[in-house]
Structure 1
């Protein structure tokens, strides 16, 4: 089986694979911590039942499993890259503290519920002190999750391949234009006697237009290079400082903002359907409205793309 087939299989099950990996990491860590905590309790001669450390560790792991998707979404919304690090880092510190509070409240609720099933009472202790203690641990866990998610995405991007514009070949030097032939002086004639064609006209300078994309993009993938035709791009998704170009279930990141990329596309071929999505108009198969007033667009290959109400009416006019 070729590398591309393995990649295709992975991409069709990507969401489930990511959930399984995070679950295995968290539950495996909870199991290991349960064993070591029980050993420490036995060595110290403390009076705790064997099931109690399991409740402590697995309640924390289950809450982290719920919080991780929100942390990953925060990393997408406020990417921690060099150009925006100073602006986005304080936001992540605040969100890490909010995540810690949610983690503590969730795991305490689960522990109280588990203890109640054993006719016991769980005491979290001194709340201000324990919240501070948990915040110190949770901020580190938050940063660890961001590092793991970033490294994982970097690997997937390298596996799929990153797109870039082809370097334009150098233009040959142009020969100098011949000097225009001298014209007879006309200064002695009044302006009204000059022919209309000789009166200079003022013309406004043309507005600056973004250069069109080339017909193909260069994709570098694990040391190999190949060309990606623009006509085969199905839709475009904004992702921080990048746009993801979707082609046959593969995403190829290209460093650009969505607005700048849209200006270089053929407006007759692509349509904006969301603040974070562009879709090739000819591939839209159906519009599926939602109760919230938005819609999902079903494409010919069965994939779905969100469409916000802001762009919905304009899209319907384009499809008529």
Structure 2
């Protein structure tokens, strides 16, 4: 069964770039189609003879804009990770982002509807904006957080599927080949095989619930640990805490970009960026 799971993962990786957007496209098509039919049927039952094409325009315009906004929510989740959402500062940030998300959704949706009605020789009226916007926001904030949760759960599931890291323990007999309290390598299980991951290859480490993610060449390997515990086990001359949720490998830091908020961004030689909070910014500069 494990071999079958490994084969399935290998096949999925080949199709991942198609499968991920394909999932959202199929979901959008199904949702817009089913909702169009159900809403039209409800209108017919109440005696409102609205043409089906109008109902289809309402549903498809809304769902197509929501589909286009999925990558934006994914980026928001990467900027403010899922497990940090319910911290007060991050929750405020995501709530503010959901307002912008809703405004963009409504504006683009109305524009598409007006264009569709105009092409049919008719005119579309959205109604009273001050009354309709709060109603639309209540739907959009739910959609925003549902996408955020779905993407976060998928990413965590994929990371666990791809491989999980463990610390090398003391051998049953004889001395350890390297310091166990400051490991130079991690044991990673991936695709049914165990291999050693040099600590120096880790670009950054990110907190994720009960795990920390070791980021290496575009891949994340979850390790069951806390940030404080893993920080104590790493070489302090190479790995530096830059955020309550991030540790960075100094060997990969190429530049430090200050932000207006007082925080900063560590730009890595691999092209990635790691957030640096103002609390740790001076320490990072002195370490570099």
- TM-score normalized by structure 2? 0.68
Give unpaired runs (5+ residues) of structure 1. 173-210, 277-294, 298-304, 309-320
Alpha-carbon separation, structure 2, partners of 1:84 and 1:261: 27
Alpha-carbon separation, structure 2, partners of 1:218 and 1:165: 9
> What's the CA shift for 1:81?
2.4
Partner of 1:217: 187
Alpha-carbon separation, structure 2, partners of 1:216 and 1:296: 22
Alpha-carbon separation, structure 1, partners of 2:119 and 2:21: 29
Conservation of the 8 A alpha-carbon contact between 1:78 and 1:240: no
1:50-78 deviation per Cα after TM superposition (whole angstroms, max 9, x unaligned): 11111111111111111111111111211
Alpha-carbon separation, structure 2, partners of 1:166 and 1:89: 37
Partner of 1:188: none
User: For residues 1-320 of structure 1, what are the structure 2 equivalents within 5 Å?
Assistant: 2-81=4-83, 85-168=87-170, 212-219=182-189, 227-231=194-198, 236=203, 241=208, 242-246=212-216, 251-254=220-223, 264=235, 271-272=251-252, 305-306=270-271
Partner of 1:204: none
Compared CA separation, residues 62 and 3, structure 1 to 2 (3 A): same
Structural RMSD (CA): 3.9
Conservation of the 8 A alpha-carbon contact between 2:159 and 2:221: yes
Give unpaired runs (5+ residues) of structure 2. 175-180, 239-248, 257-266, 274-288
Partner of 1:316: none
- Three-state SS of the structure 2 residue aligned to 1:120 is coil
> What's the CA shift for 1:121?
0.8
> How many residue pairs end up in the alignment?
240
> What's the CA shift for 1:27?
1.8
Alpha-carbon separation, structure 2, partners of 1:16 and 1:256: 34
Which has the larger helix fraction? 2
> What's the CA shift for 1:109?
0.8
> What's the CA shift for 1:33?
0.2
- TM-score normalized by structure 1? 0.62
Alpha-carbon separation, structure 2, partners of 1:114 and 1:274: 50
Conservation of the 8 A alpha-carbon contact between 2:163 and 2:188: no
Conservation of the 8 A alpha-carbon contact between 1:273 and 1:307: no
Compared CA separation, residues 119 and 2, structure 1 to 2 (3 A): same
- Three-state SS of the structure 2 residue aligned to 1:125 is coil
State the structure with more CA Rg: 1
- Three-state SS of the structure 1 residue aligned to 2:252 is strand
Conservation of the 8 A alpha-carbon contact between 2:82 and 2:148: no
